[in-house]
Every structure is written in C-alpha cells, then in structure tokens.
Amino acid sequence: MERVRRAVSSAFSLVAPRKAFRRLTGRLRGGRSQVRASVPLGEVLTSRDSSVQAGKAERHESTARVRGARELRWKELAASERKRHSSLERVFEVAELTPVETPPQRDLLQEAFPLVAPKVCRPQRPAHRGLEKLGQEFSLPGQTLSQVCREKAALVKENAALEARLRATERDLRGVSEQLAEARSEKESLQSSLLEAQQHVSELETARSCLEAQVRTARQAKELILEDVRGLRRELLAVRSFSKQQCEDMAQQLRWAEEQCSKALRLWQAAEEAKKRKIVQNLLQSQKAALDDKVRQLLGDLNERQQQLEQLRQELNKERQNGQDKLQAELREAQRKMEAMEKRHKEEVQRMHKILLQYRLAGRKQSSSSSVVAPAQAAAEEASSAQAGNSSRSSSCTWSTTSSSGSMELLGERTEDKCLAMLKMLVSEGDPEAKYTELETIGRGGFGTVCMAVETATGEEVAIKKISLLEESNSEVCLNEIQIMRGNKNANLVTFVDSYLVDEELWLVMEYMDGGSLHDVIRETHMAEGEIAAVSRECLQGLDFLHSKQVIHRDIKSHNILLGLDGSVKLADFGLAAQLTAEQSKRRSAVGTTHWMAPEIFTGKPYGPKVDIWSFGIVGIEMVEGAPPYLMNTSRTVQQLISTRGTPKLQKPRQQSAWLRDFLCCCLETDEDRRWSAQELLQHPFVTSAKPTSSLTPLIMATQQFMADRRY
C-alpha cells in the first residue's frame, strides 16, 4: 500500500510539468510577439536612408534577439521533457516492483497497474471506491502528456514559421544591402556629374561675361541708332508738315476750281434753260397761232355755212311758194347737212382741245426737264398734218388721208378709243377726291405717281396710283392691270380696291403696304439666308397662284415686291401681265425690265410662265449681293450677256450655303423646260427651311429709319 501511495503521489506530480509547460508556451508567445514587435519589416525597409553602421548594428541586434528567444524556448522544452520522463519512469518503476505480499495482493497489483490501478484489492470492499478515484487520477497524466505532445508539434510549426520569417528578413536585408550598394554607385555618379556641372557652370560664367560685353556693345549701338531714328523722325515731321501744307494749298485750289466750275455750270444751265424756255415759248406761240388760225378758219367756215343755211332758208321760203313737197325735201336735206357739219365741227373742236392740252402738258414737263422738244415737235407735226387735212376738205366735208402714217395714227386712235371706252365701263362713278384725302406722294414710276391717302368714311389707309392717259399705250396697260387685279385675289398679291377716271388720269385705289418695297430693304440693309428664304416662299406662293390661273406677271423685280410692317410680302404692278388662253398658251412680245428678263425673251422664242421664275432668280441674287447682275452695263450689252453667258454667277459663292446656291441654279436654268416651276421650288429645302415672316419686321423698320435719317 505504501508503494501505491507513492506512485499516486508521483502521478499527481505530473500536473506540475503541465503548468510549467503552459507558462513556457505563454512566455514563448510573448517572446514571439516581442520579436515581431521589435523587428518589424517596415523599420528594416525604412532604414535604407540611415547610415550603414546603424543598419548593421540593428540587424545583429534583431538576429540575436530571435536566436536568444529560440534557444530559451528549446531549453524550457528540454527541461519540461526531462521532468515528464522522470515522473513517468517513477510511475512505471513503482508499477514494476513486485511487492512481497499475499498472492491475492500480487494479483491485484498485476491487474491494476496496466489499467492505471483502477482497483487495489478486490476483497477489501471499503477501499474499492478510493481505488477507482485513484485510477481516474492516474489517467490524467496520460491526457496531459498527449496535450504536451500536441503543443510541442505546434511549437515546432511556429519555430519553422519563425525560421522562414527569419530567412525572409535575411533576404530583405541582403536586398537592402544591394540597394545601399547601388545608392553608393549612384552617389559616386552624382558626384562625378556634379563635378562636370561645376565645370559647365564655370564655362557658362565665362560665356556670360562675354555676352555681357556684347550686350554693352549692343546698347551703345542701340543708343546711336535711337539718335539716328530721332533725327529721322524730326525730318519726317518736317516733311509731313510741308506735305500737309501743300495738300491744304492744293485742296484750296481744288475748292476754288470746283466753285468756278460750279458757277460756270450753273451759268451754262441757266443759259440752256433760258434757251429751252425761249424754244418752248416760240413753239407754244407758233402752235397757239396755228390753233388760233385754225379756230378762226373753222369759225369762218361756220359763218359761211350759216350764211349758206340762211340762203337755203331764203331759197326755201321762196320755193315754198312753188311747191310745199319740194321745199320740205330740200329742207330735210339741208338740216341733215347742217347736222353733219355741226358734228364734224364738234369733233374738230374736241381734237383741237386735246392737242392744246397736250401742248400745255408738254410745256409743263419742259419746264421741269429737258425732254420736251421731241413731244412738242410731234405735236406741231400733228397740228400741221391736221391743218393740211383741213385745207384738202371737199365740198361734201369729207377728210382724205394722203399717207400711210395717217392711217396708222387713225388705227392707234381707234385702239385708244376702245380702251378708253372699256375703262369707262370698268371704273366706278363718283368723285374720288371727296372720298379720299391725299396725304403724301410715296413713289413715282414709269406710268405715273403713287400717293398715300385715307378713306374719309372709314379712316383706312390706301395707295392711289395715278396714271396719265395722254401717253400712248397707257390706256391699254391700265385696262390690263385692272382686269388682272380684279380677277385674281390672293394673300400674296396686292389687293385691288377701286378705280376712277379723273380728267385725263386713271386712279387705281389699292391696298397700302406700309413697309415699302423689297428694293429699299436690299439697298439699305443686308439680308440673312433665313430672311431671303422667307421672302422667296411668299413670292413663290403668289407666283404659283398666278401661274395656276394662266397669268404671267412679266415684270418681277425687287421694286414690284411690296412689304408690310407685319412681315407680309405681296406682288404688285400688273401692267405688263399677260393672260394665257387655250388658243394662245405662249407669248413672244419682248416686255419687262432688261436686267430681270429671261434669255428666251431676247432670243424671240415663245415663252410661258417660267420667265417669272428666271426674274425671281435675279431677285434672289439681288437679295444676296445687293444688286442684279450686269447693273453697270447698258441695256443692249445686258441683252447680249444674258443671251450668251446664260446663268449669272454669284461673286462670292463660298460665302453662301449649298441650299441657296442650288435654289438659285434651279431658278436660273437657261433651258425653260428644265427650269423649276413655282410649285416645285416651294418644296426646295432652302424654301422649306425659311424663317417666319415676322423676322422681316426688324429689317423693314431699320430700312425706314435709315431712309428717314437720310431724308432729314
């Protein structure tokens, strides 16, 4: 029993190595953490910038710490192993001892020690439970031993990891040493470069001294040059003052010469006007004398006829006694002759009054211009031809024509009479001077003047176009314009209001366009492509309407395109328009304004509505460049250029868009069949991209402002 107790006490002593082992592992872990904390890789890497000696000392210190910690750990492990083995040996020695006991006790020991003595003696019942407890306590050292083995294996693994980390640290240290060697070589190369730079700096200093010397020399030369420049400036100022004086003298001489020329010109003009007035007075006096002679002659003829009538009456009274029937027949014949004579006399008097009115109008025009000689001479020739006709009158009071010119004049008079008769049927009756109040004259054209007026009853503004009917072909033009404007009403055509005959003038009352004409806008401002497209769209809509009604305008130009302040665009002046019919679908007459006329008109070919498209293409060039092509050439030259050169070219085509250039090419196609119609041009991309008409309002207002400033 005593031996068993000693074995149990020795087994219990195995617990102490376990606690010592735990203390050792804790100490080793603290040492490992201390090693990890004491030798961080960042410090090693950051020591590259320190000196070589400090780096070596730190490496030796870190390696010594690691080695010391490792050796200490191995020593503790060896001590714990020795203690564990000694305790186990003692346990097994106690178990192997054969006690001198009774046979039952020896059997008990042989059975108990392989099982760590769970039972001491079977017969002793009271000690059975104590032995079980002792067996359980003896099993604890085995478990402790296995745990120690496991911890030993873990420590071996940690030791291997520490060795690997140590090897990595050594490799890092070798890399750092290599980098230090490279740094030394770089330092040596930098030192050599520094020496070379110092040598270069010395060379630059020498060059700098040379340059400073050159700069000083250049400054001295500059001062000399500046002195020369100052002298030249003084000379130049003297020359300028002298030339300025000469220019002033020359300008004064030119002004004096201009004044002399203007005086001489005024004197010459006064002399010419005096001569013209004398010629006009002489012509008027001669015409008046001729008319007076003619009137006296007519009065003498009338007196003779009256005397003859009296004689006939006396004869009739005498014959009345012979026979009543014969007397009545002769009386009727005499009355018929008298009526015919009075009718012819009235016609002659009206003719003389008309000629006299023409003379008076010609005299008025002559007083304002120098173009009176030709119409006055024509009137004098007409009067002389009338006198010759009167002198060749027969006894039956019939007129004889002696030349073909007289027949042509008679035909023209008949045409004029027909036009006048039709005009009288078309115009309204009443006094327009009472219905409208004239305000101002807003334009003058080839057929008359245009004035702005206000309707007295409504206060509506209208435009009145006054056309003189004394000039040839005016009656036909007026008749044509009234018929076209009455029969065609559209938003893009000027609206016709009414017409009147006042003395020898036809008054056409039309819609008043308060924005002026497109010609004024082109002359005073510059139009953008969007605004050009807007005008093109509105004009093409008006032309499309006219062409759908088989009407050719034949005088499309910027002067005949009127604008409103709201941006509205309308076509005007239909005096040269032509109405096509099924029997006459083409025209040949050469009418229009030369610069805007199509080439087929000059070549004499039959033409249709597309001549208006050509004319509007010229208007497009006007809107782009400010003037039509060939403006400075004569009419004959313009006709030749349009007939031979074909499509006019833009002066600066690259400044315009491709759509605008293509639009103008479509309008100005020399081949009438290939030229686009108004309906096709309305679908052109340039026209469809147009701005609204309201964009024209600023242009119109600016134009009116410029014109008002120039007027005042």
Question: What are residue 552's phi and psi, to 5 degrees?
Answer: -105, 130
pLDDT above 60: residue 69:
yes
Mean per-residue pLDDT over the chain, rounded: 76
pLDDT above 50: residue 581:
yes
- What tokens appear for 151 in the block? 């911890």
Q: Which residue has the tokens 């019919």?
A: 581
Q: How long a stretch of residues is the chain? A: 712
Region 117-135: mean pLDDT is 56
Long-range CB pairs of 97-104 (<8 Å, 24+ gap) are 97/3, 99/3
pLDDT range class, residue 495, cuts 50, 70, 90: very high
Can you name the residues that pair with 517 across neighbouring β-strands?
562
In terms of pLDDT, which residue wins out, 638 or 471? 638
Q: Which residue has the tokens 């208006």?
A: 612
Please report, for the chain, how many H helices and E strands are present, in that order: 20, 9
Q: Which of 459, 458, 439, 460 is nearest to 450 (CA)?
A: 439
Cβ–Cβ under 8 Å, residues 509 and 462: yes
Q: Which of 68, 87, 91, 67 is nearest to 79 (CA)?
A: 87
In terms of pLDDT, which residue wins out, 245 or 51? 245
In angstroms, rounded to a whole number, what is the distance separating the alpha carbons of residues 12 and 90? 12
Can you name the residues that pair with 465 across neighbouring β-strands?
450, 508
Task: Tell me the per-residue pLDDT of 406-461, one tens digit each, with 9 for 90 and over.
Answer: 333 433 444 556 667 777 777 888 888 889 988 888 887 666 789 999 998 888 99
C-alpha dist (Å) from residue 699 to 647, 690, 694, 705: 29, 16, 10, 10
Cβ–Cβ under 8 Å, residues 617 and 680: no
Cβ–Cβ under 8 Å, residues 367 and 378: no
pLDDT above 70: residue 81:
no
In angstroms, rounded to a whole number, what is the distance separating the alpha carbons of residues 407 and 413? 10
- What tokens appear for 339 in the block? 């009526």
- For residue 8, the model assigns a pLDDT of 46
| CATH class of residue range 416-512 | alpha beta
Task: Tell me the per-residue pLDDT of 217-252, one tens digit each, with 9 for 90 and over.
Answer: 998 998 999 988 888 888 888 888 888 888 888 888
In angstroms, rounded to a whole number, what is the distance separating the alpha carbons of residues 4 and 113? 10
* Residue 555 designated active-site: yes
The amino acid at residue 18 is: R
The C-alpha angle 29, 35, 37, rounded to 5 degrees, equals 105
pLDDT range class, residue 711, cuts 50, 70, 90: confident
Region 272-301: mean pLDDT is 78
Q: Compute the Cα dihedral for 106, 108, 113, 119 and give only its sign.
A: negative
pTM of the model: 0.46
- Summarize the annotated binding site for ATP as residue ranges: 466
Task: Tell me the per-residue pLDDT of 561-570, one tens digit each, with 9 for 90 and over.
Answer: 999 999 999 9
Secondary structure of residue 427 in the 3-state scheme: coil
Can you name the residues that pair with 502 across neighbouring β-strands?
505
Catalytic pick among 498, 520, 544, 555 = 555
Task: Tell me the per-residue pLDDT of 597-626, one tens digit each, with 9 for 90 and over.
Answer: 999 999 889 999 999 999 999 999 999 999
Task: Tell me the per-residue pLDDT of 151-170, one tens digit each, with 9 for 90 and over.
Answer: 888 888 888 888 888 888 88
Question: What are residue 578's phi and psi, to 5 degrees?
Answer: -130, 140
- Runs of H (alpha helix) within 323-372: 324-368
DSSP H or E stretch at residue 534 = helix 529-548
In angstroms, rounded to a whole number, what is the distance separating the alpha carbons of residues 461 and 453? 6
Q: Which of 84, 90, 74 is nearest to 142 (CA)?
A: 84
- What tokens appear for 695 in the block? 């964009």
Say which range, 327-336, 434-443, 673-682, has the weakest mean pLDDT.
327-336
Region 371-384: mean pLDDT is 35
Question: What is the rounded end-to-end Cα distance, in angstroms, of the chain?
Answer: 151
Domain assignments of the chain as residue spans, ordered by start: 2-184, 416-512, 515-711
Question: What are residue 567's phi and psi, to 5 degrees?
Answer: 95, 0
List CB contacts of 110: < 8 A, sequence separation 6 or more.
none
Same fold, 416-512 and 515-711: no
Q: Which of 709, 700, 707 is nearest to 561 (CA)?
A: 700
Q: Which of 464, 514, 511 is nearest to 490 (CA)?
A: 511
Q: Mind giving me the DSSP string for 689-703?
A: TPPPGGGGHHHHHHH
Cβ–Cβ under 8 Å, residues 539 and 616: yes
Region 290-300: mean pLDDT is 76
601: left (phi over 0), alpha (psi -120 to 50) or beta: alpha
Q: Which of 61, 80, 259 is nearest to 169 (CA)?
A: 61
CATH number corresponding to 515-711: 1.10.510.10
Say which range, 288-297, 318-327, 600-609, has the weakest mean pLDDT.
318-327
List CB contacts of 303: < 8 A, sequence separation 6 or more.
none
In angstroms, rounded to a whole number, what is the distance separating the alpha carbons of residues 323 and 319? 6
In angstroms, rounded to a whole number, what is the distance separating the alpha carbons of residues 471 and 399? 25
Round the CA-based radius of gyration of the chain to a whole number and report it. 67
The amino acid at residue 271 is: A
List CB contacts of 691: < 8 A, sequence separation 6 or more.
530, 531, 533, 534
Q: How far is CA 368 from the centre of its chain?
A: 48
The 3-state secondary structure of 452-507, one letter per residue: EEEECCCCCEEEEEEEECCCCCHHHHHHHHHHHHHHCCCCCECCEEEEEEECCEEE
